[in-house]
Amino acid sequence: MRQRLAISVISAGVFFSPLLFAQTASKEKTAKDQTGAFDPHDLSGKWNRVSPFQTYSNVPGGANELQAYILGQAPAPQKLDVETAEAPFTAEGKAKFDKNIPSYGRRITAPMLGNDPQAMCDPWGVPRMLNGQVAGPHATIEMVQLPDRMFTFSQWHHDYRVVWTDGRQLPKLDEVEPRWNGYSVGKWEGNTFVVNSLGFDERTWLDHNGYPHTDQMRLEERYRRLDADTLELVETITDPQYYSKPFRSDTKIWKLDREGGKTWDEQIYCVPSEEFKFNKLIRDGNVGK
């Protein structure tokens, strides 16, 4: 059932936010470059997601309340109206969702009491790599096209995925071993780049709100370059065990980060020796014990 969600935005306290870095110093460049020519079949570049949902879909509690303010698109404080809809869970899918305890969204729980796989430095996997809760230039994606494949690099966890574009067919589900980023093939349908994937490791979440999937999940991604600086992505998963019908993402919008693409290379590995010390002493509050 659809509902209207009015989110109050408060500006105080954002200065420690990684999202503050989404404040696009390249706004002037973007405006100028939007008039430039572009090849709709070239998706190369560093892309920062700017659409409000930092979750797989427009689920309740999935919008980043501060995004519009951070991106300079609205003053703060302000109201951001976003339309939301809950995932079409099966009973089994809902039960699995309830077992995933996130540190974001409506079910926000202290990380020490949660079970987000990223706390153990597990890979985000696909599609979470596309739906991460952190924005550019701090953590975003870069796409690189080669004649036979496309790479998508993720700053977060310093990961990448491969999309084969050499004309091969997607294998059957029982022919591939489940893996973190799945097995992906892509092709152009007009000016839309369509990626179909399967063979996912079911330990990953779709996003930081804890939406689950099985290893039977199939994913379709549809990319369109709307202008020189704007990329659109819509994802749809089909996973009948957990979702009663295909589960479509919101329409995600990405902006080309020309300046950050030249200079920003944070190399955000999740290093267990650093992460676990942080978790034990700081996150879990055990410093002096």
Please report, as ranges, the residues that interact with other proteins according to CB under 8 A. 10-21, 23-26, 64-66, 103-104, 108-112, 114, 118-119, 133-134, 137-138, 257, 259-260, 262-264, 266, 268-271, 274-275, 277-278, 281-289
The reply to whether omega before 18 is within 30° of 0 (cis) is: no
Please identify, using beta-carbon distances, which residue of 108 and 173 lies nearer to other proteins: 108
Count of alpha carbons within 13 angstroms of residue 159, beta-carbon side: 21
Q: How far is the CB of 100 from other proteins (least distance, A)?
A: 14
Q: How far is the CB of 274 from other proteins (least distance, A)?
A: 5
d(CA 244, CA 231): 29
Please identify, using beta-carbon distances, which residue of 64 and 152 lies nearer to other proteins: 64
Please identify, using beta-carbon distances, which residue of 11 and 191 lies nearer to other proteins: 11
Please identify, using beta-carbon distances, which residue of 111 and 178 lies nearer to other proteins: 111
Please identify, using beta-carbon distances, which residue of 27 and 168 lies nearer to other proteins: 27
Please identify, using beta-carbon distances, which residue of 173 and 270 lies nearer to other proteins: 270
d(CA 182, CA 126): 7
Q: How far is the CB of 145 from other proteins (least distance, A)?
A: 22
Q: How far is the CB of 32 from other proteins (least distance, A)?
A: 16
CA angle (237 as vertex; 67, 141 as ends), nearest 5:
45
Neighbour count for residue 150 (Cβ, 10 Å): 20
Reduced 3-state DSSP string for 159-207:
EEEEEECCCCCCCCHHHCCCECCCEEEEEEECCEEEEEEECECCCCCCC
Q: Which of 52, 100, 88, 103 is nearest to 236 (CA)?
A: 88
Q: How far is the CB of 146 from other proteins (least distance, A)?
A: 25
Q: How far is the CB of 131 from other proteins (least distance, A)?
A: 14
CA 77 and chain centroid, separation: 25
